[in-house]
Structure 1
């Protein structure tokens, strides 16, 4: 489209070095700084940072396309006449701070300060949202047609995700000219603030209590058989993913319930926003209808008489303050979906009063309620072993003192108790009658090592099944908190949390090698919430030297996932086996992560083998 008003020359490329890094912009201005005669595309510019950031603009015209009266209050408006440049958006957010006094279809004139707002704050690494702040708004007329939406589809979103960031700018892409025909993130950025739509799209991230879900506009992009989109490498970010969030408050319009594999049918239309929880978001003024595709929770097969079944399950901060319904649902999953494994390693078992911070570290009541619920669900009377942590030393929810726990079915497997294990005493490996044995069982692995600072220490235990010793190590590695998101202004993003997990993996790998040095064919199972992918440096460190094999890699690539994050189905929970375990059956049992109604955000994993 041709513009009837000449484009204003860029006033300044960047106001400060902070702006160049994508940080929060907002300069003190005076009347002399006011820039007149500009249009929305002049403000948006051809990079991620507005050429007018920090400047006052006056009487910018457009039609209101969306109003948000909650959260970050404000409205979007759009110039119906574009400049014909695909790199410049014709839409813009106006931050009002209070409920906006405008309606969709109002033609408005807006004056105010152009700012670059970073959702989540400068330290988040997020890209910034160009907006007008401290606005003065004049409604010129009402009832005008909303500018026609841009359709986001498989044909419009490029296959490459993002350009490499500028090394001279710390890897930031902020100053790079947008290439919307080449990169998905550039394409979405070129539409920031514009009225967009998606047609019928498959749900790849379930709906949440925050009135949002994730869809993909690329149905053929790394799909799995249950409808998700698999994140299989750092360079397979899945460009078709887009978050959809309702503009209407929940009190006005309930948000639909959707599971992975369902389809958001009809038309979903509204401004393209950017937020801290996933980046580019279609703020739906008009929301389609969810078509239920009948996704069912999986059930793994029962272990055969000669098979040992070992499972890992993150039960998401379980403690006695949780409703009985949570205990019952988790228990039913153990019995009905996991077929009552012989050994279950639990992560995120909290102490007996949950998040209350009063020095309590024991978790006997938590475990009694859980094991009682399993019996009530028709399962075995599990016994348990664990080591209580030191107060406030293992991370997690403050006051919760989360730890790993072994449940085991004494009718099928026995636990070899070797006393003395506590929060600070390390277990070791010795030779007994020619076999590897633990000095402490249960015991913690190298709890004083700096790798475990403010993190859960691995729990090792010695089990016997049909006369054969199996050493099991339960883990909950450091979280990904602090990592930059896939939509970071740095490309590739900074994964700072990986440093600690890499150290943790090396400690566990060394311990397993100590076991194998004593007994080359020892059966060792390392499992838990590893908080990292099967292709990560963490997993490579765990498997270094052939000490372990990541069992999830025995599955087809499309079935490798235990968690769904921002529309990506990915691996966080793992079971790894020593070389002595030559043959096994592995199952990632999908019962939580793909569903809006979930009792935990993780899917459990089960390994069956003959020791």
Structure 2
């Protein structure tokens, strides 16, 4: 890479300056060469520069920011004049790799180099930049161009054109689509004032704000994702260009505010798309978002919870184990049954053939008891080594915890990693499981490299309850919503839909043998309440989703890229669902100091007996509004 430059106040710069008192002030920026393209000409009116791959010389502009960190260092410079075309950006990034450029904000520069379109990943938009750059500083102390204020009305509500393919060659429509607006301001200075935080600070020192105060906001201050057609165009990621020692990055939760001005150049990354790289950070206002606690337990109700514990293993530090344990014992109120997802084997990601998880589970249940919870027992099935996806070596699986003082687990031998559980008719003519615990169709192609559902048969006050805890295939491989293809393809849905079909077949078999069976399908289904995956499980006489009874602004248990969304679910068979008290307990997803990236949920209900007269009498007695007499 060729890098050449001069610092300001050279003899030429001094000659170009005027004296005011004792201060040396630069004159107006020197004119560019007559044949030098302006930045807006290089940027063009589409996502790809008309100069891509070509050399340009002496491109004029004012340095607005410098990236002094990492392997993608460089500086941004912006044309203070512009062409008044809303489609063309007035700024560029000069890429200097691992070399820190010797420029400062306010330097008046002339930059030469190769125009490149850099893609941070497959299917992503490209970053127009100058590489192999050479520059000359012809003055310093110039006025930095004003930042574009991003407020409620600045960014369009519509997210992207419904093009059905690659949008890179389309003419930008920044007044119509958010992605076009962002692209038309690529590298330019932008700012947000009093920005609401909608995604908590992560371990990489980044957070999400919204530029639209009223866009699908939750009561707790987030932005709720409730429809593929409305990805919440006001979301914007914030990272910092300020050295941490000078200005520590705020540890913010959803509902907090960056008060005052947050300002910097607009950049693009594979991790979340467009982002503001802050040269000025607003003051963090902690609005003290509370962690929720489930309402009081009724002893005549069965309580069932689901909790994705994010790759918990015996190799984790005690702080994580204790944090998750407090969530079960305190925030969830010590449910009778807990379906766990993402339990790893005893040595976690060490890939040495270990599949047993007794040490992981022993530590966890001991920590729950220490936190004031019951002495839980567990049931699970060790997977085949490396067959169930997740973190390599972790041998992730689903697990049941249960309180033996409240419920009994029906153990039937024969359940293992490869034996499918079947629905059979019991001696009383009611539905039963062939093995318990068991796995649904573990050899089916739907579960290739994915967690198999764990099914258990429980008894509460003489009433049988079937629980299926799940962790469907992830969204890995889907095209990002900020990528080049619009609308993005969601290829991972194919496997989840097949998984939902296998689970639906199983629950339909239970209902065929016993229409009054108490059935629950719970866990991390890795898809939204409006998705085809959930439709397969709930449509046409299927299971009931109590989350749909919540206001739209409260349907979330996970926060991703500033979108509060619903990935974990608790579904019930119809008659039992009429008795369900459902609660999402918000303890993790909105907080920077989360012990898991998922919020747990709990359902409390009195299981049906299957005797219509008894069940009707109980409906009047227990669910008439007055509670148990």
**TM-score between the two structures when normalised by the length of structure 1:** 0.92
Query: Whole-Å Cα distance in 2 between the matches of residues 252 and 211 of structure 1?
Result: 14
1:109 is aligned to 110
Return the match for 2:583 from 564, 587, 594.
587
Equivalent residues of 1:314, 1:602 under 8 A apart:
yes
2:119 is aligned to 118
Q: Secondary structure at the match of 1:348?
A: strand
Alignment partner of 1:318 is 2:312: yes
Q: Deviations over 1:392-421 (max 9, x none)?
A: 000111100010000000000000000110
Q: Secondary structure at the match of 2:319?
A: helix
Equivalent residues of 1:313, 1:603 under 8 A apart:
yes
- Residues 457-536 of structure 1: matches in 2 within 5 Å? 457-536=452-531
Q: Deviations over 1:177-234 (max 9, x none)?
A: 1111111111111111101111111100001121211111111111111000100010
1:17 is aligned to none
2:79 is aligned to 79
Q: Deviations over 1:267-323 (max 9, x none)?
A: 111100111111110110011111111101000113211111110001011111111
Alignment partner of 1:413 is 2:434: no
Q: Secondary structure at the match of 1:508?
A: helix
Q: Deviations over 1:459-491 (max 9, x none)?
A: 000000011100000100011111111111111
1:279 is aligned to 273
**TM-score between the two structures when normalised by the length of structure 2:** 0.90
Query: Whole-Å Cα distance in 1 between the matches of residues 571 and 521 of structure 2?
Result: 5
1:610 is aligned to 606
Q: Deviations over 1:531-586 (max 9, x none)?
A: 10000011111223322122211211111001000110000111111123122111
- Residues 297-336 of structure 1: matches in 2 within 5 Å? 297-336=291-330
> 1:357, CA displacement in angstroms?
0.7
2:129 is aligned to 131
Q: Deviations over 1:219-251 (max 9, x none)?
A: 111111100010001011111111111012334
Q: Deviations over 1:88-136 (max 9, x none)?
A: 00011111102122111111111111111111x2x2x211111111111
2:152 is aligned to 154
Query: Whole-Å Cα distance in 2 between the matches of residues 545 and 458 of structure 1?
Result: 22
Q: Secondary structure at the match of 1:390?
A: coil
1:63 is aligned to 62
Return the match for 2:595 from 592, 595, 599.
599
Return the match for 1:355 from 349, 353, 359.
349
1:217 is aligned to 211
- Residues 388-407 of structure 1: matches in 2 within 5 Å? 388-407=382-401
Alignment partner of 1:426 is 2:420: yes
Query: Whole-Å Cα distance in 1 between the matches of residues 490 and 136 of structure 2?
Result: 45
Return the match for 2:548 from 538, 544, 553.
553
Q: Deviations over 1:484-543 (max 9, x none)?
A: 111111111111111111111111011100111111111100000111000001111122
Q: Secondary structure at the match of 2:575?
A: coil
Q: Deviations over 1:310-338 (max 9, x none)?
A: 10001011111111111111111111100
Q: Deviations over 1:338-381 (max 9, x none)?
A: 00000000011000011111100000000000000011011100
> 1:155, CA displacement in angstroms?
1.5
2:232 is aligned to 238
> 1:448, CA displacement in angstroms?
0.2
Q: Which runs of 4+ in 1 moved over 4 A?
A: none
Query: Whole-Å Cα distance in 1 between the matches of residues 407 and 93 of structure 2?
Result: 61
Q: Secondary structure at the match of 2:181?
A: helix
Q: Secondary structure at the match of 1:421?
A: coil
Alignment partner of 1:340 is 2:338: no
Q: Greater Rg, structure 1 or structure 2?
A: 2
> 1:450, CA displacement in angstroms?
0.4
> 1:36, CA displacement in angstroms?
4.6
Q: Secondary structure at the match of 2:598?
A: coil
- Residues 148-297 of structure 1: matches in 2 within 5 Å? 148-165=146-163, 167=164, 171-297=165-291
Structure 2 unaligned regions, length at least 5: 1-33, 608-629
> 1:173, CA displacement in angstroms?
1.3
> 1:253, CA displacement in angstroms?
2.6
Query: Whole-Å Cα distance in 1 between the matches of residues 346 and 273 of structure 2?
Result: 38
Alignment partner of 1:89 is 2:123: no
Query: Whole-Å Cα distance in 2 between the matches of residues 496 and 314 of structure 1?
Result: 23
Structure 1 unaligned regions, length at least 5: 1-34
Q: Secondary structure at the match of 1:315?
A: strand
- Residues 30-45 of structure 1: matches in 2 within 5 Å? 36-45=35-44
Equivalent residues of 1:260, 1:594 under 8 A apart:
yes
Query: Whole-Å Cα distance in 2 between the matches of residues 415 and 302 of structure 1?
Result: 24
Query: Whole-Å Cα distance in 1 between the matches of residues 476 and 545 of structure 2?
Result: 23
Query: Whole-Å Cα distance in 1 between the matches of residues 86 and 598 of structure 2?
Result: 41
